[in-house]
Structure 1
Amino acid sequence: MKAVFGDRARLQGMLDFEAGLARAQSALSVIPADAAPAIAAQADASLYDMADIGRKAVLGGNLAIPLVKALTERVDGDAKRYVHWGATSQDVIDTGLMLQIREGLSLLEDDLTALADACAMLADAHRATPMVGRSFMQHGLPMPFGLKAAGWLEAAHNAITRLARLRKETLALQFGGAVGTLASLGEDGARVRDRLASDLDLHAPATPWFTLRDRLVEITSALGITAGLMNKIAGDIVLMMQTEVGEVFEPAAPGKGGSSTMPHKRNPVGAATARGAALQAQARAAAMFTTMDQQHERAVGGWQAEWGLVPELFVLTAASIAPLASALAGLEVDAERMRANLEITGGLVFAEAAMMKLAPDIGRMEAHHVVEAACKTAIAEKRHLRDVLGEDETVAARLDSAALEALFEPMGYVGSSATFIDRALAAWAAFTKKA
């Protein structure tokens, strides 16, 4: 991702715009036919001194000014007169950025696909691995670990779909000349614009969008959402790797996850890296909203702020996905510890199951009262809830010992979990097959 948004790629995107513009204008006889190949032959970023262009951009105010000058100097003969014909700096910079974004989105989709595949593997392998579902950081009810992984899978699937849609629908050519009228091209402006959009495989909006940045902010918002999802998934892993929990572990490797002072530690370094990058990405995504306040037809400040924010946002979003995908692909799941953690409350996580079993006979409110009282007794006397319920006359009259024992089987009270896992896996399988 750093390469996609690096100096050379930035110049190459701008040069691709200039070459495409010359081809479009040549095809429409706006400039001589032999001008296009002469210009395109020099549209190679490796031909230019990036450091020199960078220094000169400080005086010019943007990269396009020194780049166009350097390109013009390299083009031979009369063709040099037609470099950048009818365009303005923002046309070059914005369109070049759109070309970079297209490649960047594809990279993110690839990384998210690897992450989703890892989640699908976990969901399928652990559809019958019971663990405790937590509510407000407290033990709630039993659930299969596969359902948690299926939730991660669906989130990743949604992120891929979102980015793919934006890549196909939102990337747009910027070409409007000085203030969006293309007056320098006379009546040929709209035709050239449409031809150029086709050449670069970008959408041609009805009007130039110099200071209307909704397209760009929609893309960066999607990256912020993606980074937020990575933060959540990585956060789950961090919490499950706590010593007191110990339900999953990132894959071990020499030198990975250790401490400089505590030899026994196994740190969640992949999740930590993902979270650190995600938090920074989300901050930049939020900052992009502030850049939308752009004045009249060409902006001062907001547009320039994007130049750093967008590349950094793409790099940081990628950095939130890659280490997490690696961690999930080799995630070690301790099913025995998950089962043991279910038992640390002495059966209290099965209180709802007991209540719902009694409710048809005595009503939900009465069942809630009976089980709640039993829970209080179990806590006070440090006894298992099953044993306390077995001594209650109301319960004993309706549930024999076998029925009571069955209530405390974790996979016996997971509702539609299997269906939910199957649906997430089926949707992902259909998506990958179609792709």
Structure 2
Amino acid sequence: MTDPRPADAPADVPADVPANVLADPLLDPLFTTAAAARAFSPAARVQGMLDFEAALARAEAAVGVIPATAVPAIAAACDAALYDPAGLGAEAALAGNTAIPLVKHLTASVKAADPDAARFVHWGATSQDAMDSGLVLQLRGFIDGLDADLGRLADALAALADRHRATPMVARTWLQHALPTTFGLKAAGWLDALGRDRRRLAVARGGLALQFGGAAGTLAALGEAGPAVAEALARELDLPLPALPWHASRDRITEPAAALGILAGTLGTIGRDVSLMMQMEVAEAFEPAGPGRGGSSTMPHKRNPVSCAVLLSAAVRAPALVGGLLAAQVQEHERGLGGWHAEWQALPDLARLVAGAAHHAASMIAGLTVDADRMRANLDLTRGLILAEAVTMALGGRMGRLAAHSRVAEASRRAVTERRPLRDVLAEDSEIVQALGIDELDRLFDPLNYTGSAAVFIDRVLAEHARN
């Protein structure tokens, strides 16, 4: 089989991923991961619903609602490989959801093996129970897999922050030179935001609960046994048992969606910063290089920021998906019309998209090339103007803030006009030299002496990372 992947495809998208896993074999290798593609593949969607049906049979048998003899045939038929997703989809186009035809075919499969057991398939449940609980199972596995990539990214960022805690660079505000900072602090900022993202996802994962309410959320079909079945079913699926069914309360879906959207923004910020640092006029940091990675179809010299493009693309696309899911949260009465349906593709699309960005970010940061010499050289582009505030603050203690500001501003204008270092212009002012001294003036023009509390902030972030 010919390898369909581009040379720079994410490493965990193997060439033999089945076509029915990758929704778009031309673009998915760039924008998602094999794990995310599998988590939300048609087979996984079907298997999630079937896992619910098998667990339901076991739970109902455990509390005496259905005979225990019915369980083996039902459980054996709960294998997604036995069903045709395309056929189910065609029937769902008429039925309105995928669970209805799946339960029909599941019942037929069980009947072929044990006619008596077939009577108890899907007993007391509704289609939304199967679909929502199946989705919860998919989401839980997906978040666990995503966090593995996020953990890899966090570790790489922590190493970067520690390694470059004393690597001075330009801090840029409004894209212009502002003051000195360190690359370690920049990396720590990325890490700090990522830590909050991971905690938000963990909270959202904790909110994923069993969905089991029957036709109208009352479990009336099960009579007095309803609560006991629900408790047993939650144990079978290892899911929290909610106080009541949540058919029309979609916050359990929008919470992970919002967390994924915020994560996409964090990853996009990393992508934006790295891509700006990769510009040849800046040249402070570069994505990992490799055969076929970041090339141009016509310009042999190009080293394009491929991973940054994926991160930025996810940050552009995610808000619309999150917005759609938030809009879908408004439901009607006990079970909604349209809003529930709007989740079915939007949430998997969002999850696959963010997973791809997280994977690219982890690989990019782990292999990031940092040019500390260029960072230091860029600090000198303005011939010391970037340290004008440092001189002003030191001088202000001797002659007052306003006087110091005026004196340094005038020296800065001369330095720009005459294209000279600000330090040399200031050294020609006898009053400034008398107030500060040459040694102090030289010290003020060392960028590492004006990074404030950067080291303290880095230590705080690294300590928080170590605790998690």
**Alignment equivalent of 1:369, drawn from 406, 411, 420:** 406
SS at match of 2:68: coil
**Alignment equivalent of 2:59, drawn from 4, 10, 24:** 24
Amino acid at match of 1:352: E
**Alignment equivalent of 1:95, drawn from 133, 138, 141:** 133
| Correspondence 1:398 to 2:435 | yes
SS at match of 1:132: strand
Q: Which residue of 1 aligns with 2:390?
A: 353
Q: Which residue of 2 aligns with 1:34?
A: 69
**Alignment equivalent of 1:106, drawn from 130, 144, 166:** 144
Measure, in 1, the Cα distance between the counterparts of 2:149 and 2:403. Answer: 52
| Correspondence 1:185 to 2:230 | no
Partner deviation per Cα, 1:84-132 (whole Å, 9 max, x = no partner): 0011110110110000000110111011111111111211111111100
Measure, in 1, the Cα distance between the counterparts of 2:249 and 2:46. Answer: 24
| Correspondence 1:7 to 2:7 | no
Q: Which residue of 2 aligns with 1:240?
A: 277
Q: Which residue of 1 aligns with 2:168?
A: 130
Contact conserved, 1:358 with 1:367, CA < 8 A, in 2?
yes
SS at match of 2:169: strand
Measure, in 2, the Cα distance between the counterparts of 1:230 and 1:283. Answer: 16
Structure 2: state its 5+ residue gaps.
1-35
Measure, in 2, the Cα distance between the counterparts of 1:138 and 1:430. Answer: 36
**Alignment equivalent of 2:325, drawn from 288, 309, 315:** 288
Q: Which residue of 2 aligns with 1:59?
A: 94
Partner deviation per Cα, 1:37-68 (whole Å, 9 max, x = no partner): 32112111112122221211111111101110
**Alignment equivalent of 1:277, drawn from 311, 314, 318:** 314
Contact conserved, 1:128 with 1:411, CA < 8 A, in 2?
yes
**Alignment equivalent of 1:223, drawn from 247, 250, 260:** 260
| Residue 79 (structure 1) shift | 1.1
| Residue 80 (structure 1) shift | 0.8
| Residue 387 (structure 1) shift | 1.3
Q: Which residue of 2 aligns with 1:427?
A: 464
Partner deviation per Cα, 1:185-210 (whole Å, 9 max, x = no partner): 11111221122112211122212111
| Correspondence 1:163 to 2:198 | no
Q: What is the number of equivalent residue pairs in this alignment? A: 430
Partner deviation per Cα, 1:297-341 (whole Å, 9 max, x = no partner): 111111101000011010000111111211111111111111111
**Alignment equivalent of 1:409, drawn from 446, 461, 465:** 446
Pairwise CA RMSD: 1.2
Amino acid at match of 2:137: L
Measure, in 2, the Cα distance between the counterparts of 1:346 and 1:155. Answer: 33
Deviates more, 1:9-18 or 1:154-163: 154-163
Identical counterparts, % of pairs: 56
Amino acid at match of 1:233: I
Deviates more, 1:257-266 or 1:364-373: 364-373
Measure, in 1, the Cα distance between the counterparts of 2:181 and 2:146. Answer: 31
**Alignment equivalent of 2:356, drawn from 302, 305, 319:** 319
| Residue 231 (structure 1) shift | 0.4
Q: Which residue of 2 aligns with 1:144?
A: 182
SS at match of 1:350: helix
Q: Which runs of 4+ in 1 moved over 6 A?
A: none
| Residue 28 (structure 1) shift | 0.6
Measure, in 2, the Cα distance between the counterparts of 1:154 and 1:195. Answer: 40
Measure, in 2, the Cα distance between the counterparts of 1:183 and 1:166. Answer: 30
